[in-house]
Chain A
């Protein structure tokens, strides 16, 4: 691979967070019974006509602005003509040519600690297709519920700025973050609401011509994107090194086997016969409206990362992790503003909070803990009221029940025992009950210290202040 340079173009499709479809009022809700969210328009019945969804247009404009694009005005819809059973009209209403809603933008992010800029050629609006299911008989079943759902397509510039699998992954991670921040898409790759199709080609270093590119499909996670691209780069390198040629084709990533395979082509004529959609009129955007939208954009990840480092003194790594998901970031900020130690807050958010959110159905939104409650918990730790270890259990309870930390501590009697006299008594009891181990500890078996600490903890049901216990044991020994 070192003889070669790689070029990776990224084509991303994002299902937009609208209530209704792109050109009709059918619901976009996922998972209903087949063909239950369908009407003459999204079914392509004879005589039906499309009417564009205002919110979908706005979401795409917002995204284009956030990606530093020029906004085309007018912007036109086109018909992309091809035959396939999941495409009811046998054309898709999309955008083409020089006037997509957004063009000539860029995304800045960090890879390996270094800044990277990926240029974006176009951001445009189109409609999704229905779903085809192959069945045992060899036939296929078609469900048009998804047909007509608004879709945003984001395509990187050519020649590509992305040269490694890692850059490809980081581009996607950062792009997805922005979409979450804007509330434009829910970014669930596993569910298909965010789809990524890298176009991969390589060439010998020093040559000026581009080789045919291979389009990859079925990459349903960041990890799959990384692995898929990496595999494909290797495959092409091997092919070219042995004197072969790369065929322009579409390949499917098989996650289980870790390889790409040539796909059965769905339609292999690339002749889409684009022409302006006569049933829809142009979109135009007033400069004042665009300015207003631009001003109303939320603080985006890049700006937020910079601010976290400056305002909270967090290292770049923490800032990056905290800003991937805007809800996590929002939680962190509220808690950090309520507590003096931002780093401690960051640790808890990156650690226990994220872990619990990932393990819970419904994620962060399903957890009942509030940022203020986390700040209160940290205060209890600072005051020595509970140990760090106990705090973890208290936090879990807070997430499940929504109760305040001091309430939980009180109810469960978890207050740390810091009374020297009381603890000394416990230590003495433990010593009395384990004379052999005391002898061994006195003789230098340091590791038994943990045993005694553990025994004291057991006796006190975990509530003994650990540092104090350590000190008392050592004192008692001598």
Chain B
């Protein structure tokens, strides 16, 4: 039997239900893997072995497998509140903050008695595309430890890829679930805006943030989405639509599916090998009975500036609360109130966070609001309309998830604009509030490439079905990185 840490969650669920493995053994497998590999991968900010083993022990003592995800080792991105467990957002300003409440998604997982192995690393306050902006340390890509895992949910994606957990939660504002999933060769799903509650997700850009699963395969993504989706009265932007049975979408059939291929996502900004992989994937879908046509989405080029005006504006306001008054870091210097706030924030925030706060504050300030923030919100409407027009003709759009494969650690930190460009293909989706998934579709020089499937609002079922169909006809999702100290299945990611 393959090692437990290489198995998908749904396979593990099966083993647990049939009592072929105990909950405690499974929890231990996760914790042991973390111990063995995390010194290299550095996916975790906090590991919670006692809690994990205590939940597992209780499950072993109980009679039956109580819920689908019971006992499954899961990692939570460290920007989601977990009561009693530090929630740092990978920022010095929250280094020691322990929330007195759980995020709704965490509550829902806890109700299923999952085993939370720990909290994962991210770009500070979810701002970044490589996890290099973490205020603590950088996470390393399990496929090549000299490279970034992507961001901002780099820790969660790396933890799943490295087999430290069977599944993880990430958050996505401009691609922060999908892009790291793509860099780490795993599946990452961003639901429609409003599908999953944001209560307890430390806000970055409120009109763009969404929580979603990062998993080994599409089946697991459907199962985790099922567990966390649905209306939450504590989130005014959470939509009161019923949650369908997403596992019913796990059908390998795309006959008659109308695929759109947006020209602007295949242009010169995309690395040629990546483009080839993605086009090969599209060809496969066509061979399975789908139709594909090109479409132009003319406002795509404006998505990056629109995002980098709206997101920092909202974040400059969302992060104002970190002032050393009620929680978080307070400067040790003995100064007056205003200076205390200024110094605490200066000491607590990293440069990218400061940069975005500055940008956002500027864009909202008197004299600039109309030209920047308001203008960006209007162009956002135009970008959304491009998608609305696409849905008249197509069921899904297929694109690369990211213009490149994982880049080297340190390669882009000095150039913010170049870092921002990593989100070219993912950002428009957040602006329009649409669901999208990234699935592995190949390797370039041993590094994973991601295929992005974008769907209509609340069409997670279609998105899952398309992704599932592709996955069932390929083997990419079965590959495992060759991490020293862990036993890899045959066909690891050797260069």
Contacts and interface: CB of A to CB of B under 8 A. Distances in A.
A45 B87 CA distance: 12
Interface in A249-288: 271, 273-275, 278-281
Contacts of A140: 337
B273 interface: no
B365 A271 contact: yes
Given A271-B366, A273-B364, A47 B199 contact: yes
B334 to A, nearest CB: 11
Given A40-B100, A273-B365, A46 B202 contact: yes
Contacts of B203: 46-47, 279
Nearest to A46: B202
Main secondary structure of the interface of B (DSSP, over half): loop
A425 interface: no
Interface string A389-402: 00000000000000
A83 B341 contact: yes
B80 interface: yes
B313 A275 contact: yes
A92 to B, nearest CB: 11
A50 interface: yes
Given A79-B317, A90-B321, A91-B320, A85 B337 contact: yes
B207 interface: yes
A85 B338 CA distance: 10
A44 B227 CA distance: 27
Contacts of A273: 317, 361, 364-366, 369
Contacts of B361: 273
Interface string B252-289: 00000000000000000000000000000000000000
Interface stretch (B36-44, B45-53, B232-240, B292-300): B232-240
Residue of A43, A45, A142, A273 most packed against chain B (CB within 10 A): A273
A279 B237 contact: yes
A144 to B, nearest CB: 8
Residue of A44, A47, A271 most packed against chain B (CB within 10 A): A47
B202 A49 contact: no
Contacts of A79: 317
B81 interface: yes
Interface string B86-104: 0101000010010111010
For chain A, which range describes its interface: under 10, 10 to 19, 20 to 34, or 35 or more residues? 20 to 34
A341 B323 CA distance: 66
A81 B320 contact: yes
A379 interface: no
Interface string B379-404: 00000000000000000000000000
A429 interface: no
B317 A275 contact: yes
Contact of A275 (B94, B235, B373): B373
Given A46-B87, A273-B365, A279 B236 contact: yes
Given A90-B323, A271-B365, A47 B103 contact: yes
A52 interface: yes
B413 interface: no
B317 A91 contact: yes
Contacts of A45: 81, 99-101, 327
Contacts, number: 95
Contact of A90 (B100, B320, B338): B320
Contact of B234 (A43, A44, A51, A89): A51
A43 B326 contact: yes
Contacts of B201: 47
Given A273-B369, A278-B206, A46 B236 contact: no
Contacts of A90: 320-321, 323
A212 interface: no
A46 B97 contact: yes
A278 B100 contact: no
Given A49-B235, A275-B373, A44 B321 contact: yes
B379 to A, nearest CB: 16
A81 B364 contact: yes
Contact of B199 (A44, A49, A52): A49
A88 interface: yes
Interface string A108-152: 000000000000000000000000000000001010000000000
Contact of A46 (B207, B235, B321, B369): B321
B236 A47 contact: no
B369 A275 contact: yes
Residue of B203, B235, B320, B361 most packed against chain A (CB within 10 A): B320
A47 B203 CA distance: 6
Given A85-B337, A273-B369, A47 B234 contact: no
Contacts of B97: 46
A434 interface: no
A89 B321 CA distance: 4
A358 interface: no
A155 to B, nearest CB: 20
A50 B236 contact: yes
Contacts of B323: 83, 85, 90
Given A81-B364, A85-B337, A47 B200 contact: yes
Given A49-B237, A91-B317, A279-B206, 17 more contacts: A40-B101, A45-B99, A46-B89, A46-B203, A47-B80, A49-B199, A49-B234, A49-B236, A51-B233, A81-B317, A85-B323, A85-B325, A90-B321, A273-B365, A273-B366, A278-B206, A278-B237
17 contacts: A44-B326, A45-B327, A46-B89, A46-B203, A47-B202, A49-B236, A79-B317, A81-B317, A83-B341, A85-B337, A91-B317, A273-B317, A273-B364, A273-B366, A275-B313, A278-B205, A279-B203
Please provide the 5 A-B residue pairs with the shortest distance between their CB atoms, ordered closest to farther.
A90-B320, A278-B206, A273-B364, A278-B207, A46-B202
